Structure 1
Amino acid sequence: MVTPTRITLARKRRGLTLAELSDRAGVSLQSLSNYETGRTGPRPTTVRRIADALGFPEGFFSGPEIDELPAEGISWRARTKTPPRVLDSARAAGTLAAQLYDWIDERFRLPEPDLPSLGKPDPETAAEMVRTRWGLGHAPAPNMVHLLEARGVRVFSLPPDSLEVDAFAVWRGRVPFVFLNTVKTVERSRFDAAHELGHLIMHGSGERSCSGPEAERQANDFASAFLMPASGVLGHMPAGARVDQILEGKSIWKVSAMALTYRMHDLNLLSDWQYRSICAELSTRGYRTDEPQGLKKRETSQILTKVFQGLWSKGIRPGDVADQLNVTADELGTMLFGLSINTTHGHDAAPADQAGWTLSLVR
């Protein structure tokens, strides 16, 4: 028995219209429409053709209903003109990652969500309040993925085919999710993580809009204040700093040169003229789209690594997890920040990072 919503989800994941899937699978457009609405069901041979066209195991389509991540609650960090099908594909990828989270949550004790509800403070105050609650003081923020995970945020990577989406966040019930692009520079990815945290904190109640120019500005200001607390920047950076001083100073907070320049201007350490001049010089040096001589080690999930270490110790291989979720190993791998789950001579490779503690399995 085929579950109609799973056909729709798989199609969206591949960024296809019904007409495009019809061409790929050799199934009529009207038939596909009927399958997705549940008016009729496909024969086993037709399911096989649809599965081959979409790159999903046949078993995926007969699983239970899957509730997609709530579209109205997603804060997209993406270009304004990003095509809807790209957003739909990223949302579908997030939905599949949420299924992986459900699978993990049944077997491991994960950190409980600890994101404060702050009412309606301004972004600067909100960032200070979160820092105080989490015991960060005025020190530079640590690994952002680890920090979010320790506070109960479920963090996954976005697939390579979602490059037009920098990041997005969403509440699924009482559980917060953040999805990050892993192709951007490390510094910009840290900012994206803080930006999405800002959305979860300030726009997560459902009472306030999580999208639009004003919400994006607020999330940017939150991220700037969270990563570069005012007292730290004022204490370390001189007024009217030169470009070389900014390039040296950005390593303190592990942010991009442009982000530190913006923050200094916001804190009145740079005049309007100085800000424009420095931005122009940084752009000439390649810092508008890249971060020359920036951080090399990407921040990745600690929890996912430890989960797969724990599974490995019990004889459960990543391929087994993919089979239970009825997705391919490649699809599973796109969620895991590059955690190695490839197979060699028919055997799964062990997780690349074997250091650190291991989560306890639920008995």
Structure 2
Amino acid sequence: MRFNSDLLRVARQVRGLSQTKLSVDSGLTQGAISKMENGLSEPSEEVVQKLADTLQFPPSYFYQSFQPFGLPVSVHPMFRKKASVPVKELEQLEAGLNLRLSHYQTLLRSVEIDRDLELPRLDLDDYDNDPVAIASLVRRTWQIPRGPIKNLVQYVERAGCIVVHCDFEGVGVSGVTITLKGLPPFIFINRNNPADRQRFTLAHELGHLVMHRLPTPDMEREADRFAGALLLPPDQVAPYFMDGVTLPKLAALKPVWRVSMAALLIAANNLGYLTANQNQWLWRQFSAKGYRTNEPPELNFEVEQPSVIRDIVQLHLGEYGYTEQELAFVLHAELSDLRRLHGLESEPPKVGLRIVK
């Protein structure tokens, strides 16, 4: 097979190296590295071994047919409120997700996941451009009981999506959704965020999958409205605000609805239970108490854990009889990367994957 120049770039960016630093560490010229990454030069076995040793990838990694993807438009600065994310951090984020997806593509060849919920694909134009109406329809389609959603990750995975917790620390990204031909949708969530933020991010990314085929200027606002209505249906949460909205009430409702106090405050305001002055006063209280950055830790609740990728990995290591070394070989990965990316440093849980054999 031919050397995959795109995977050299991915490997370099995964390790956080510039071409200049890779040149210094490997003893190869920067010009040679640049030509290899641009597909203008086919490296010898000796050069590939130097790259593999420096970047800590097996030589076979560079000969895979996997074609890396670019980040979705919702992650690009022009579509995000925080437009100051350095290019290097975004490149490393993209490379890390590509590395994961190359593993998942291989792992998924051995299993067929049984989906028992349909993932709706709905056009906003058909619903008066109202994400709240679409969120309500998704709840009904999935037959979610009235009240708080106990475990959103389970519903999303039952609909055929794969949820993955990743370390996005320092990038300023809460979630990324990737859809590739022939693979289920992947929703990557920043594991460094608290549970309430993770749930809202997952609902937001689900909104993109349900409503958005092509990017639009309003897509982030629409996904936020979808997420808010999915987790806090207006007709169901309204009664809690009828006798007033206070910080103690928001704190009491947080573990019940499993959303942030801030999300509850926004919902109360959207429903018309606050005057402009009351809303501003409550937000000033949030700022004074530091709740805009960190809500009271005693209100935190348990993070919902994804299971699909975890179960597929454990299936290979258990029923399929792979050793970790064999699985790393199949994935063209170093053993340390296998363990880090797939949570093998901790005790493996019981496999609960729904698989059609």
Question: TM over 0.5, yes or no?
Answer: yes
Tell me which residue corresponds to 2:308.
303
Q: Is the 8 A contact 1:73 1:170 kept in 2?
A: no
Choose from 184, 194, 208 the match for 2:193: 184
Given that 1:13 and 1:93 are in contact with CA atoms closer than 8 Å, whether structure 2 keeps it comes out as yes
Contact 1:186 1:296 in 2 (8 A): yes
Q: Does 1:193 align with 2:202?
A: yes
**Match for residue 144 of structure 1?**
152
- Mapped partners of 1:107, 1:252: distance in 2: 40
Q: Aligned partners of 1:271 and 1:240: how far apart in 2?
A: 11
Aligned to 1:357: 352
Give the 5 Å matches for 1:116-195.
116-120=120-124, 121=127, 122-159=130-167, 163-173=171-181, 175-195=184-204
Contact (CA 8 Å) 2:75, 2:173: kept in 1 or not? no
Aligned-pair distance for 1:90? 1.7
- Name the residue aligned to 2:220: 216
When structure 1 is superposed on structure 2, of 93-102 and 24-33 the one drifting more is 93-102
Report the TM-score when normalising by structure 1.
0.86
**8 Å contact from structure 2 (residues 85, 171) kept in 1:** no
Work out the CA distance in 1 between the residues paired with 2:168 and 2:56. 15
Structure 2: which amino acid aligns with 1:190?
R
Q: What is aligned with 1:331?
A: 337
Residue in 1 that maps onto 2:109: 106
- Do the aligned residues in 2 keep the contact of 1:198 with 1:222 (CA within 8 Å)? yes
Displacement after TM superposition at 1:193 (Å):
0.6
Q: Output one character per residue of 1:106-156: Cα deviation in whole Å (capped at 9) or x when no partner.
A: 222214483212111311111111111111143212322222111111211
For structure 2, the 5+ residue unaligned runs are none
8 Å Cα contact 2:167/2:192 also seen in 1 = no
Q: Does 1:320 align with 2:329?
A: no
Q: 1:171 to 1:202 in 2, by over 3 A?
A: same
1:63 is displaced (CA, Å) by: 2.2
State the match for 2:281 in structure 1: 277
| Aligned equivalent of 1:33 | 34
* Distance in 1 separating the partners of 2:21 and 2:221: 37
Q: Describe the SS at the equivalent of 1:179.
A: strand
Confirm or deny: 8 A CA contact 2:204 2:227 kept in the other structure: yes
- Measured after TM superposition, the shift of residue 31 of structure 1 is 0.2
User: Quick check: 1:124–1:225 contact (8 Å CA) kept in 2?
Assistant: yes
Q: In the superposition, relative to structure 1, how do residues 75 and 82 fare at CA in structure 2: closer, same or farther (>3 Å)?
A: closer
How many aligned residue pairs are there? Answer: 345
Distance 1:270 1:335, change over 3 A: farther
Give 1:161 deviation, angstroms: 5.6
Deviation of 1:334 (Å): 4.8
Find the aligned partners of 2:294 and 2:322 in 1 and give their Cα distance.
40
- Which whole-Å CA distance do the structure 2 matches of 1:224 and 1:40 have between them? 51
Equivalent residue letter for 2:48: V
C-alpha displacement at 1:192, in angstroms?
0.7
Q: How far apart, CA to CA, are the structure 1 residues paired with 2:303 and 2:67?
A: 31
Provide the C-alpha distance between the structure 2 equivalents of 1:329 and 1:278, rounded to a whole number of angstroms: 51
Gaps in structure 1 of 5+ consecutive residues: 343-348
What does residue 345 of structure 1 align with? none
Determine if the alignment matches structure 1 residue 290 to structure 2 residue 294.
Answer: yes
Aligned residue number for residue 269 of structure 2? 265
Aligned equivalents of 1:155 and 1:320: distance in 2? 25
Secondary structure in structure 2 of the residue aligned to 1:165: coil
Q: Name which of 70, 85, 89 aligns with 1:86.
A: 89
Relative distance call for 1:283 and 1:30 in structure 2 (3 A) is same
Matched, 1:43 2:44: yes
Displacement of 1:225 in angstroms is: 0.7
In terms of mean alpha carbon deviation, does 293-302 or 177-186 score higher?
A: 293-302
Shift of 1:34: 1.3
Q: Distance in 2 between matches of 1:306 and 1:162?
A: 29
Q: Are the equivalent residues in 2 in contact too, given 1:111–1:151 (CA < 8 A)?
A: no
Which SS does the other structure have where 1:69 is aligned?
coil
Provide the residue aligned with 1:231 in structure 2. Answer: 235
Does structure 1 retain, via aligned residues, the 8 Å contact 2:4–2:62?
A: yes
Q: Distance in 2 between matches of 1:79 and 1:330?
A: 33
Structure 2 residue corresponding to 1:251, chosen from 236, 255, 270: 255
Relative to 1, partners in 2 of residues 1:49 and 1:239: Cα closer, same or farther, differing over 3 Å?
farther
> What is the aligned-residue identity percentage?
26
Task: Give the C-alpha shift of residue 164 in structure 1.
Answer: 2.7
